[in-house]
Amino acid sequence: MTRYLVQRILVSIPVFIGVTALVFALYALSPGDPIIGILGAENMTRMTSEQIEQVRHQYGFDKPWYVRYVHWLGDAVQGDLGYPIKGRGTVVENLKERLPPTLLLMGTAFLLALLVGVPMGMLMALKQYSWLDYLMTLVAFVNLSVPAFFLGLSLIYVFSLKLDVLPTYGMQTIGADFSIVDRLRHLVMPSFILAVFYAGVWARYTRASMLEVMRSDYVTVARAKGLHESAVVIRHIFRNALLPLITIISVSLPQLLGGAIIVETIFQWPGMGMLGYQATLTRDYPILMGILLISAAAILISNLIADMAYALADPRVRYD
């Protein structure tokens, strides 16, 4: 296992470089001039072309994108992601400030989706073609179909404007001391919106995977031996249905960060999604590349976790 993980990490290095180089090139070649965001259109009209070029040289935008990427990568390896074009502190300091709120939101949404979606899918498979299966299938498809922004605005309208039981934005009440109850009240709606979609996805995959395993011969043999139905479901059906489910869940982990951009923007949650949205508007490349760095690392780490989970879920899977 250790040797396999080391090999996977070594393979991940060129993948990481390729992903960051591609995105860096897309940022650099996208339409628009980042100098406008730095100086402002009104200020640029009062500046000479020499002054504008001096600012462009100061920020390094006069060099080709691949030269700037090599410089960025060399500094990133040393833990230096530079300074944001707009804002205070360094990029690392901004990410350290915004990462914990995003992890709290994503972690809560992940647990909710896992605790709801997987049991829901198991029940759908065990009660195949029953009224309960049809009802839960309808609920799952509704979860997959409703856009996050629409659901977010609907919840704000009902629970904040009409019922006045939940706050509309932020992580805590302005001017109030920190309390767990207040934090949970702010966390309810954004985490629920993120969890709804993935609960529907995981429920559908759990149902399909379990139905495929239930038709296997070893399940019939287990029942013929007189094993209790709960033992057949847990030890034989669900455990063997875990492998495709592990893949889906591990792939969904980095996607939670992408979904958090919309949710954090709606609820003004001070996380990386909100930071990325603001950086996109101002074309703040250092901030965007810092967020990409974390996203790419999350994808690679989730793949490693999935490989280890395979070995734990199925003894036949071993990495020598």
Mark whether 66 and 214 lie in a shared domain: no
Question: Is 307 within the bounds of a domain?
Answer: yes
Both tokens of residue 21?
């180089």
Judgement on whether residues 144 and 293 belong to the same structural domain of the protein: yes
Question: What is the separation of C-alpha 285 from the centre of its chain, rounded to a whole number of angstroms?
Answer: 20
Same domain (yes/no): 66, 114 = no
Shared-domain flag, residues 109 and 237: yes
Give the number of domains in the chain. 2
Considering the domain architecture, whether residues 200 and 266 belong to the same structural domain is answered as yes
**Residue 89: Cβ within 10 Å count:** 12
- Asked if 10 and 155 sit in the same domain, the reply is no
Specify whether 69 is located in the same domain as 210. Answer: no
Residues 45 and 118 in one domain: no
In a domain, 319, yes or no: no
Residue 234's CB is within 10 A of a number of other CB atoms, namely: 12
Instruction: Give the span between the Cα atoms of 83 and 225, in whole angstroms.
Output: 66
pLDDT recorded at residue 54: 84
pTM of the model: 0.82
- pLDDT tens-digit map of 14-57: 888 888 888 888 887 777 777 777 777 777 777 787 888 888 88
Specify whether 31 is located in the same domain as 103.
Answer: no
Domain-embedded: residue 91: no
Asked whether residue 120 falls in the same domain as residue 71, the answer is: no
The pLDDT value given to residue 79: 84
For residue 318, is it within any domain?
no
Q: Do both 38 and 177 map to the same domain? A: no
User: Are 8 and 135 members of one domain?
Assistant: no
Query: What's 275's domain CATH number?
Result: 1.10.3720.10
Range of the domain at 17: 2-77
Interval 253-282: pLDDT, tens: 777 776 678 888 888 888 888 888 888 887
For the chain, which residues score pLDDT lower than 70? 1, 4, 258-259, 311, 313-320
